[in-house]
A and B are shown apart, each in its own frame.
Chain A
Amino acid sequence: MTLSQADPVKMDYVDPANSLNMPEMADMTFAMDFLSRAKEGVRSTAAALTETVSPEARALLRDQLRQGIALHQEISELMIRKKWFHPYELPEQYRLDLLSAGQTLEIGKLNLFPGDTSRKGMFDRTPDEHKGGSMA
């Protein structure tokens, strides 16, 4: 799927065609962010654990480290199952990363929050004209 089309002049920025596959792509991005946060959490907890001396702090960090590792495993298993993450197929992962990098660049070019979103003047008559609604 490409976010741009041959003739961008005809393209309306709120065209639903631009939202095709968007929920799945968004989920993949959220999962990727979640995975890196879990990874970061495990690493910093492990680093903190090696810096602590008091038994209660050590016990606490050890428990949190275990929970962090469990969380990381859960997310990566889900991502592998969903085919969002390919740890064993490097070419496939490379292709996917390239694709999402390209899409991110396209999103960066989009004017997502234009100042004027009014549709006034796009219709030659109002839908309720026969009822005299426009005169009300």
Chain B
Amino acid sequence: MSYALHETLEVHELAAFKTVSLTKSKTMKALVSDPALKAILQRDVEVSTRQLQELGDILSAAAERGIKA
């Protein structure tokens, strides 16, 4: 089954946002001193990495199967 153009664009936008957010969490993790906040940031890095891979899988599947405009 192929993906519709608008949903592919929507996923693409989400992936772009998650990329920036992941970079920020990773960078800020080194700067914070509170251990609880550091732990949440670390977990966000792991979760975001997985989410970004999942979004990437959808985008490559869309490219493979073709996008219906």
Q: Contact at A30–B28, with CB atoms within 8 Å?
A: yes
Query: Chain B residues near A57 (CB, 8 Å)?
Result: 3, 7, 11, 58
Q: Given A37-B24, A78-B37: A26 and B7 within 8 A (CB)?
A: no
The range of chain A's interface size is: 20 to 34
Query: Chain B residues near A56 (CB, 8 Å)?
Result: 58
Contacts of A1-49 to chain B: CB distance below 8 A:
23-24, 26-27, 30-31, 33-34, 37, 40-41, 44-45, 47-48
Question: How far, in Å, is B50 (CB) from chain A's closest CB?
Answer: 9
In the complex, what residue of chain B is closest to A58 when comparing beta carbons? B7
Is residue B36 within 8 Å, beta carbon to beta carbon, of the partner chain? Answer: yes
Chain A interface mostly = helix
Question: How far, in Å, is B20 (CB) from chain A's closest CB?
Answer: 9
Q: Given A57-B58, A60-B54: A34 and B28 within 8 A (CB)?
A: yes
Is residue B60 within 8 Å, beta carbon to beta carbon, of the partner chain? Answer: no
Is residue A120 within 8 Å, beta carbon to beta carbon, of the partner chain? Answer: no
Q: Contact at B32–A26, with CB atoms within 8 Å?
A: yes
Is residue B10 within 8 Å, beta carbon to beta carbon, of the partner chain? Answer: yes
Is residue A129 within 8 Å, beta carbon to beta carbon, of the partner chain? Answer: no
Contacts of B1-37 to chain A: CB distance below 8 A:
1, 3-4, 6-7, 10-11, 13-14, 17-18, 21, 24-25, 28, 31-34, 36-37
**Chain B residues packing against A (C-beta within 8 Å):** 1, 3-4, 6-7, 10-11, 13-14, 17-18, 21, 24-25, 28, 31-34, 36-37, 40-41, 44, 47, 51, 54-55, 58
25 contacting pairs across A/B (C-beta < 8 A): A26-B31, A30-B28, A30-B31, A31-B34, A34-B28, A34-B40, A34-B41, A34-B44, A41-B18, A44-B13, A44-B14, A44-B17, A47-B10, A48-B10, A48-B14, A51-B6, A51-B7, A53-B7, A54-B1, A60-B58, A61-B14, A71-B44, A74-B40, A78-B36, A78-B37
**Chain A residues packing against B (C-beta within 8 Å):** 23-24, 26-27, 30-31, 33-34, 37, 40-41, 44-45, 47-48, 51-54, 56-57, 60-61, 64, 67, 71, 74-75, 78, 82
